[in-house]
Amino acid sequence: MKRIRIFLVMVLGLFCHTSQAQTFSINTDVAMLALQTYNIGAEMTIGNRSTLGLSVFGNNKPYFHKEMRMVGVQPEYRYYFGGRPLYHHFVGVGLLAASYNMTWGNKNYSGTAWGGGLTFGYVFSLTNRLSIDAHAGVGLVFSHHRESFEDGSNLLLKNGTETKDGFLNYKILPTKIGITLSYSIW
């Protein structure tokens, strides 16, 4: 256990040393906050026109859907066309992983979702450190969940046998839509 801690401290030290001349910002999606989905993210420049970001989000019984719980993570690579990172138009490639439990109608859905897609957006600079970006993304999302009735009984398949492994679905869906407020730390 001690070796793992020492290794992690060395990796963190190397990461901090190599990121001295780079921009690092923290952000939150205000559109998700309006829907009581709490989130926080970080974005760091990794090249002349590109950044790497990570956001985590979650909710528990938001006001618009009392029978819903969700937690997820979204890493994303962005390429900026404005000549420098965190400036003007961008295109991003992102991934999505989430765990959810919700009731819709008289059915309960409990499972996981994962996928990836493309994001397009624009960054508006408010000050030297504060900026807002508007973005939208679409991609392929897979979900694996168990469906049951609210009383806990399992759904039946067409041949009359109970479900064991749940259902696997995939669809083209919006993967990211929002307005993000970012603050550059350095």
Indicate the domain borders of the chain. Answer: 23-184
Residue 158 has pLDDT above 90, yes or no: no
Distance CA 42, CA 23 (A): 11
Quote the pLDDT of residue 92.
Answer: 97
pLDDT at position 22:
63
Decide which of 2.40.160.20, 3.40.50.300, 2.30.110.10, 3.90.1150.10 is the CATH code for 23-184.
Answer: 2.40.160.20
Flag the least confident range among 11-20, 75-84, 103-112, 149-158: 11-20
Range scoring the smallest mean pLDDT among 56-65, 77-86, 166-175: 166-175
The mean per-residue pLDDT over the stretch 148-170 comes to 60
Q: Is the pTM of this model over 0.85?
A: no
pLDDT at 55: 96
Confidence of residue 104 (pLDDT cuts 50, 70, 90): confident
* 142, burial (CB in 10 Å: exposed 0-12, middle 13-18, buried 19+): middle
Cβ neighbours for 128, distance < 8 A, ≥ 6 positions apart: 184
Given a cut of 80, whether residue 156 has pLDDT beyond it is no
Q: How far apart are CA 2 and CA 79, in angstroms?
A: 39
pLDDT in tens, 9-64: 554 554 454 444 468 999 999 999 998 999 999 999 998 899 999 999 999 988 87
Residue scoring higher pLDDT (20 or 2): 2
pLDDT reading at 89 higher than 70 = yes
